[in-house]
Amino acid sequence: MPLDVDSASVAGVWWRHIPGGGEVHYRAPHPADGRWQRGAVVEALYFADSPETAWAEWYRFLAEFALRPTEQMPRDLWRWRVTLPRVADLRGFRRLQRVGLQVPPPGRAGWGPFQQVGEALHREGWPALIAPSAARPDVGRILCVLRTTRIVAGVRPVPPPRRLRKPPAPPTGMRT
Protein backbone atom coordinates (compact mmCIF):
# COMPACT_ATOMS: atom_id res chain seq x y z
CA MET A 1 0.00 0.00 0.00
CA PRO A 2 1.47 3.41 -0.96
CA LEU A 3 2.35 5.88 1.75
CA ASP A 4 -0.19 8.60 2.51
CA VAL A 5 1.74 11.69 1.40
CA ASP A 6 0.87 14.94 -0.29
CA SER A 7 2.67 16.11 -3.40
CA ALA A 8 4.32 19.51 -3.63
CA SER A 9 6.37 21.25 -6.27
CA VAL A 10 9.68 22.81 -5.37
CA ALA A 11 11.13 25.69 -7.37
CA GLY A 12 13.81 28.05 -6.13
CA VAL A 13 17.21 28.30 -4.52
CA TRP A 14 18.41 25.71 -2.02
CA TRP A 15 21.76 25.44 -0.25
CA ARG A 16 24.41 22.77 0.18
CA HIS A 17 28.00 22.91 1.42
CA ILE A 18 30.90 20.65 0.53
CA PRO A 19 34.61 20.52 1.40
CA GLY A 20 36.47 23.45 -0.10
CA GLY A 21 37.40 22.79 -3.72
CA GLY A 22 35.36 19.57 -3.77
CA GLU A 23 33.54 18.21 -6.82
CA VAL A 24 30.00 19.57 -6.68
CA HIS A 25 28.52 16.41 -8.26
CA TYR A 26 30.76 13.99 -6.32
CA ARG A 27 29.52 10.41 -5.88
CA ALA A 28 31.23 8.38 -3.18
CA PRO A 29 32.34 4.85 -4.05
CA HIS A 30 30.38 3.72 -0.98
CA PRO A 31 27.41 6.11 -0.68
CA ALA A 32 26.73 7.45 2.78
CA ASP A 33 23.64 6.84 4.85
CA GLY A 34 21.44 9.81 5.66
CA ARG A 35 18.38 10.42 7.77
CA TRP A 36 16.04 9.58 4.87
CA GLN A 37 17.94 6.76 3.12
CA ARG A 38 20.69 4.19 3.35
CA GLY A 39 23.43 4.60 0.77
CA ALA A 40 23.37 0.90 -0.08
CA VAL A 41 19.72 1.30 -1.16
CA VAL A 42 19.68 4.74 -2.81
CA GLU A 43 21.98 7.75 -2.83
CA ALA A 44 20.78 11.20 -1.89
CA LEU A 45 21.69 14.85 -2.10
CA TYR A 46 20.57 16.85 0.91
CA PHE A 47 19.76 20.54 0.60
CA ALA A 48 18.71 23.22 3.08
CA ASP A 49 16.21 26.03 2.59
CA SER A 50 18.70 28.65 3.83
CA PRO A 51 22.40 29.00 4.60
CA GLU A 52 21.47 29.07 8.30
CA THR A 53 19.74 25.70 8.06
CA ALA A 54 22.67 24.25 6.10
CA TRP A 55 25.11 25.35 8.81
CA ALA A 56 22.81 24.23 11.63
CA GLU A 57 22.70 20.73 10.11
CA TRP A 58 26.51 20.80 9.80
CA TYR A 59 26.98 21.86 13.44
CA ARG A 60 24.53 19.12 14.49
CA PHE A 61 26.62 16.56 12.61
CA LEU A 62 29.89 17.86 14.09
CA ALA A 63 28.50 17.82 17.64
CA GLU A 64 27.38 14.21 17.28
CA PHE A 65 30.88 13.09 16.32
CA ALA A 66 32.75 15.55 18.58
CA LEU A 67 34.49 17.13 15.57
CA ARG A 68 36.00 20.60 15.70
CA PRO A 69 34.55 23.00 13.12
CA THR A 70 37.99 24.51 12.41
CA GLU A 71 39.29 21.09 11.35
CA GLN A 72 36.55 20.81 8.69
CA MET A 73 37.48 24.02 6.89
CA PRO A 74 37.48 25.39 4.27
CA ARG A 75 33.92 24.72 3.08
CA ASP A 76 32.23 25.84 -0.14
CA LEU A 77 28.62 26.98 0.22
CA TRP A 78 26.78 26.36 -3.05
CA ARG A 79 23.48 27.76 -4.20
CA TRP A 80 21.44 25.27 -6.19
CA ARG A 81 18.56 26.01 -8.53
CA VAL A 82 15.93 23.33 -7.90
CA THR A 83 12.86 22.77 -10.07
CA LEU A 84 11.07 19.57 -9.12
CA PRO A 85 7.36 19.41 -10.01
CA ARG A 86 6.57 16.49 -7.68
CA VAL A 87 8.14 15.83 -4.29
CA ALA A 88 6.74 14.07 -1.23
CA ASP A 89 5.64 16.78 1.19
CA LEU A 90 6.43 15.83 4.79
CA ARG A 91 6.47 19.36 6.16
CA GLY A 92 4.64 19.63 9.42
CA PHE A 93 3.62 17.36 12.26
CA ARG A 94 0.38 16.08 10.68
CA ARG A 95 2.07 15.05 7.44
CA LEU A 96 4.83 13.25 9.34
CA GLN A 97 2.22 11.50 11.51
CA ARG A 98 0.46 10.15 8.41
CA VAL A 99 3.59 8.11 7.61
CA GLY A 100 4.19 7.11 11.23
CA LEU A 101 6.87 9.67 12.09
CA GLN A 102 7.43 12.46 14.58
CA VAL A 103 9.46 15.65 14.06
CA PRO A 104 13.03 14.49 13.29
CA PRO A 105 15.19 14.47 16.41
CA PRO A 106 18.88 15.39 16.20
CA GLY A 107 21.28 12.47 15.99
CA ARG A 108 21.65 9.26 14.03
CA ALA A 109 20.16 6.96 16.68
CA GLY A 110 16.61 7.52 15.45
CA TRP A 111 17.23 7.34 11.70
CA GLY A 112 15.73 3.88 11.09
CA PRO A 113 12.05 4.84 10.73
CA PHE A 114 12.94 7.87 8.58
CA GLN A 115 15.09 5.71 6.30
CA GLN A 116 12.25 3.22 5.92
CA VAL A 117 9.91 6.02 4.82
CA GLY A 118 12.47 7.58 2.46
CA GLU A 119 13.26 4.23 0.86
CA ALA A 120 9.54 3.41 0.51
CA LEU A 121 9.05 6.77 -1.22
CA HIS A 122 11.93 5.91 -3.56
CA ARG A 123 10.33 2.54 -4.40
CA GLU A 124 7.06 4.36 -5.11
CA GLY A 125 8.84 6.61 -7.61
CA TRP A 126 9.11 9.84 -5.63
CA PRO A 127 12.27 11.70 -6.72
CA ALA A 128 12.59 13.73 -3.52
CA LEU A 129 11.00 14.70 -0.23
CA ILE A 130 10.76 17.92 1.74
CA ALA A 131 10.70 17.79 5.55
CA PRO A 132 11.56 19.74 8.71
CA SER A 133 15.24 20.14 9.52
CA ALA A 134 16.32 18.09 12.55
CA ALA A 135 18.65 20.93 13.52
CA ARG A 136 16.06 23.76 13.11
CA PRO A 137 12.63 22.07 13.04
CA ASP A 138 10.66 25.23 13.80
CA VAL A 139 12.12 27.33 10.99
CA GLY A 140 14.21 25.17 8.66
CA ARG A 141 13.41 22.69 5.92
CA ILE A 142 15.52 20.12 4.13
CA LEU A 143 15.12 18.71 0.67
CA CYS A 144 16.31 15.14 0.18
CA VAL A 145 16.77 14.38 -3.52
CA LEU A 146 17.04 10.63 -4.08
CA ARG A 147 19.50 10.00 -6.87
CA THR A 148 20.55 7.13 -9.07
CA THR A 149 22.69 9.22 -11.43
CA ARG A 150 25.57 11.66 -10.92
CA ILE A 151 23.62 14.63 -12.26
CA VAL A 152 19.93 14.87 -11.36
CA ALA A 153 17.43 16.56 -13.68
CA GLY A 154 15.88 19.64 -12.12
CA VAL A 155 18.78 20.18 -9.71
CA ARG A 156 21.78 22.29 -10.73
CA PRO A 157 24.52 24.19 -8.91
CA VAL A 158 24.79 27.95 -9.46
CA PRO A 159 28.47 28.94 -9.52
CA PRO A 160 30.51 30.31 -7.99
CA PRO A 161 30.33 28.90 -4.48
CA ARG A 162 31.12 31.03 -1.45
CA ARG A 163 34.37 29.78 0.11
CA LEU A 164 34.44 29.93 3.91
CA ARG A 165 37.84 29.58 5.53
CA LYS A 166 36.52 30.00 9.08
CA PRO A 167 33.43 28.35 10.54
CA PRO A 168 30.33 30.55 10.38
CA ALA A 169 28.61 31.56 13.61
CA PRO A 170 26.21 28.87 14.80
CA PRO A 171 22.68 29.82 13.71
CA THR A 172 19.98 30.73 16.20
CA GLY A 173 17.18 28.29 16.97
CA MET A 174 19.46 25.29 16.53
CA ARG A 175 19.14 21.84 18.14
CA THR A 176 22.13 19.50 18.35
Q: Is the pTM of this model over 0.75?
A: yes
Average pLDDT over residues 93-109: 93
How far separated are the first and last CA of the chain, in Å rounded? 35
Q: Which pLDDT score is estimated for 175?
A: 83
56-69 as b/e: b if 16+ CB within 10 A: bbbbbbbbeeeeeb
Which pLDDT score, from 0 to 100, does residue 128 have? Answer: 98
Q: What per-residue confidence (pLDDT) applies to 174?
A: 86
The partner residues of 81 in beta bridges, in order of sequence, read: 13, 156
Helices (H), 24-173: 51-64, 93-98, 111-123
Residue type, 153: A
pLDDT tens sequence across 33-64: 999 999 999 999 999 999 999 999 999 999 99
